[in-house]
Amino acid sequence: MKNLVVAIDGPAGAGKSTVAQLAAKKLGYTYIDTGAMYRAVAWKTLQQGKKVTDELILAVVKDIDVNLQYQDGKTTVTVDGTDVTGQIRTPEVSAIVSQVAALGPVREKMVDLQRKMGERGSVLMDGRDIATNVLPNADVKIFLTASIEERARRRHKELTEKGYEIDMEKMKADIAARDKADSEREISPLVQAEDATLLDTTGLSIDEVVERILAMCK
């Protein structure tokens, strides 16, 4: 089997990252966690020891090299050659990552790096605009979705297990609003690529979804 480039898009709560990580592991591919890349920029920004401003972030991102590599069963994140896999998950990084990801030049740089990683092959990347914008020439394109009711039920179960009390109707309304915002935004909206395969996961287990993704890659 050749070294494929796999792009998975889909709305909030569809379970993309869960199944993408499992499928990548079974394929022996690098799972490109696009969120981790923005965390890497946030980490390097904090290393400057200065007040975090948009100007500082933009100065840092200019010549940053973020790389994700699959080794020994896990994905390693490096910044300019330094392994920061654990360090990008701190509360300090979490506190500024939204500010980092909101900047247009940061997004442009990260998309450029994501494309370079895609060129290596043997990668599986998920997001909102991977097949339409980041990797339009991917070998396998999947649009992963589920009904709003199913996505709300999964998210409700996940949050309830963590001790949160969530109203199911409010959860459904929130997911519907997120879908609308993602689909209508000006920059890289959430749409199914014309040549992507629709995979509706409503009523399917995680293992069943992973098996279907693996079947599409064969």
Q: Is 30 part of any known ligand binding site? A: no
Residue matched to tokens 């499928």:
23
Q: Is 188 part of any known ligand binding site? A: no
How far apart CA 57 and CA 38 sit, in angstroms, is 11
Phi, psi dihedrals of residue 181, rounded to the nearest 5°: -65, -45
How far apart CA 7 and CA 138 sit, in angstroms, is 6
Q: Is 15 part of any known ligand binding site? A: yes
Q: Is 13 part of any known ligand binding site? A: yes
With a CB cutoff of 8 Å and minimum separation 6, the contacts of 192 are: 9, 143, 198
Q: Is 16 part of any known ligand binding site? A: yes
Q: Is 12 part of any known ligand binding site? A: yes
Q: Is 28 part of any known ligand binding site? A: no
Q: Is 10 part of any known ligand binding site? A: yes
Q: Is 122 part of any known ligand binding site? A: no
The set of long-range contacts for 147-152, using a CB threshold of 8 Å and a minimum separation of 24, is 147/200, 147/202, 148/172, 148/175, 148/176, 148/179, 150/201, 150/202, 150/203, 151/11, 151/12, 151/13, 151/14, 151/175, 152/13
Query: Which residues belong to the annotated binding site for ATP?
Result: 10-18
Give binding residues as ranges.
10-18
